[in-house]
A and B are shown apart, each in its own frame.
Chain A
């Protein structure tokens, strides 16, 4: 077993070119991409559609082989099946066997991870509870909604008790409260010391959960770093006051004016986001009404 100093993920000079069959055209999906994710970190891969996020993940998981460069997981090369021993993966728009029920699905993937019958039982109870599918565990996946499929996919990724979890757009198609739950889950994984790589178009969420982000564009990593360093605006300070009188605000504005170097940029009521408002409403509804599933 690799020691704690081995990075969870190491990608060096990775290049992937897709040749379109029967045509001369080539698509450079990843272009000399290098990145490293330390054990226990939450890494966010963001970028526009078609920038190569999913392709990078597929190479990392050995589903496709790179044209150049290498990728490894906890020191084991991605081409080696053993590297998948401690990984959980949720593909984008996951699709499972629709003839299986929720718990049968987890049992199947549990067996593939080499879990015993007893481990499978306790693990699936725990995971179904975690992704809120206990009520639907005996229903076939053919009848699951998109959000439910996404959540069973998440449970499937975690069934083998992985040390690295790769999530490709885990919140796609999930409603705001569900996606909030997925965010909490990622934070919980992080608390347990599990490394997470995720891609998402919901930048607000990425900002909330990730320690480190990589911005990928046209297959190249254009910006990478600790999230705090990337988003902090060093020369600005925010003050939020409650029940401030107009006189107090005038006073503060006056104080700032007297300083030569500082400037008051904005003053007003902070806005809640639409997402927060929606969640608040939903939460109140579910408290007064029945439970949400």
Chain B
């Protein structure tokens, strides 16, 4: 009993920031989403990519593999972004509405840690779901590229040489499971992470799930078109005044350029993604998440609960 009293005495030393508290909130968020049975969506995802595959079997193998990759990346990006927005919107406003937040914030938990924990939990969920989706995607791709090769070999005349087969294998596999696809997977994750940041910020002042989802989706869609709008605006007017630049910067911060993250289109078309672009995406994601966390905190720190 004495030793226990001593240890709780120790644990009472308040730490201004504690990774274990953030981790407890993140883990709780993740568990909560998993128990809401979100991973059932994997069934839909598999049905989608296998269905798309069956539908386009009669095409040339180049087309078939490209469609498989396009559909898979498209579905991955869609699911990940939906999870990011809906998951955040579902949990934070609900904590406020149900007043579960009272029980958390009356423990020695700074409000910033709560936000950070929620964000980490959502990122964890996005990460795990993208991982599972990529595994499914890569498995189907692997099976198809071997299937196509087998069909080719079967259709070749008997006297076909080893070099012919080898060149077929080369051309099929180069359009199949290649390590570059991982860059696409990373880009999908980064994009969803930024979407989660947007939803986090909106939910701190919205305190309603529906409102958060709608506003975040609007930002998400505008974000896809913002570079077009900015280009148009700035090439029309010649003036590059400080005011204009400030405005452009503001638009850039409020509406992240989501279009920039869509590297998978080029990827499936066989383009090479330069390392510099990936580095830029990582940097942008870190920038947006930092900005959104900070402004979320500024709103949330003063919030009357």
CB distance from B19 to the nearest CB of A (A): 11
By the criterion CB–CB under 8 Å, are B11 and A112 in contact? no
CB pair B103–A119 under 8 Å, yes or no, is: no
Q: Which residue of A lies closest to B11 (CB)?
A: A114
In the bound complex, residues from chain A placing their C-beta under 8 Å from that of B11 are 113-116, 119
Comparing B20-28, B195-203, B247-255, the segment that makes contact with chain A is B20-28
Give residues of chain B (154-200) contacting chain A, Cβ–Cβ below 8 Å. none
Contact A95/B99 with A65-B304, A160-B107 known, Cβ cut-off 8 Å: yes
Q: Choose, from B29-37, B260-268, B270-278, the stretch at the interface.
A: B29-37
Could you tell me if A85 and B8 are in contact, using CB atoms closer than 8 angstroms? no
Total count of chain A residues near the partner, CB < 8 A: 36
Contact of B107 among A64, A96, A113, A153 (CB under 8 A): A113
B269 CB to nearest chain A CB (Å): 43
Shortest A158–chain B CB gap in Å is 12
A-B contact count (CB 8 A): 99
Q: Are B109 and A81 in contact (CB under 8 A)?
A: yes
Contact yes or no, A97 B20, CB < 8 A: no
Q: In chain A, residues 138-168, which have Cβ atoms closer than 8 Å to a Cβ of chain B? A: 153, 156, 160-161
Q: Which of A86-94, A173-181, A200-208 contacts B (4 or more CB under 8 A)?
A: A86-94
Residue among B8, B12, B14, B107 making CB contact with A112, cutoff 8 Å: B107
Contacts of A100 in B (CB 8 A): 28, 31-32
- The verdict on A63 contacting B105 (CB below 8 Å), with A99-B32, A112-B21, A114-B21 known, is yes
Q: How distant is the Cα of A104 from the Cα of B30 in the complex, in angstroms?
A: 14
Query: A58 vs B101: C-alpha distance in the bound complex, in angstroms?
Result: 12
Query: CB-CB < 8 A to A94: which residues of B?
Result: 99, 102-103
- For A113, list chain B residues within 8 Å (CB): 11, 107-108
Q: In chain A between 51 and 96, which residues have their CB closer than 8 angstroms to a CB of chain B?
A: 58, 61-65, 81-82, 84-87, 89, 91, 93-96
> Closest chain B residue to A82 by CB distance?
B14
CB-CB under 8 A from B100, the residues of chain A are 95-97
Number of interface residues of B (CB under 8 A): 34
B18 sits at the interface (CB 8 A): yes
A93, A112, A119, A160: which has the most chain B beta carbons within 10 Å? A112
Q: Which chain B residue has the least Cβ–Cβ distance from A88?
A: B106
Task: List A110-148 residues whose CB lies under 8 Å from chain B.
Answer: 111-116, 119, 122
- A95 in contact with B106 (CB, 8 Å): no
Contact of A62 among B8, B18, B98, B105 (CB under 8 A): B105
Also in contact, A81 and B108, with CB within 8 A (given A63-B305, A97-B100, A153-B103): yes
Is B74 on the interface with A (CB-CB < 8 A)? no
- At the interface, yes or no: A278 with Cβ under 8 Å from chain B? no
User: Which residue on chain A has the smallest CB distance to residue B97?
Assistant: A95
Complex Cα gap A179–B36 (Å): 33
Asked whether, in the complex, the Cβ of B8 is within 8 Å of the Cβ of A119, the reply is: yes
Q: Contact: A112 with B109, CB < 8 Å?
A: yes
CA distance A156 to B102 in the complex (A): 12
Cβ distance A60 to chain B, nearest Cβ, rounded Å: 10
Further contacts, 19 of them, CB under 8 A, given A85-B14, A89-B106, A100-B28:
A58-B305, A61-B105, A63-B102, A81-B16, A85-B12, A85-B13, A86-B12, A99-B32, A100-B31, A104-B31, A111-B24, A112-B25, A114-B11, A114-B18, A114-B21, A116-B11, A153-B103, A160-B8, A161-B8
Interface of A toward B, CB cutoff 8 Å: 58, 61-65, 81-82, 84-87, 89, 91, 93-97, 99-100, 104, 108-109, 111-116, 119, 122, 153, 156, 160-161
Can you give 13 contacting A-B residue pairs, CB < 8 Å? A58-B102, A81-B14, A81-B16, A95-B100, A99-B36, A100-B32, A108-B24, A111-B24, A113-B108, A114-B21, A116-B7, A116-B11, A119-B11
* Top 5 A-B pairs, shortest CB-CB distance: A111-B24, A82-B14, A112-B107, A89-B106, A99-B35
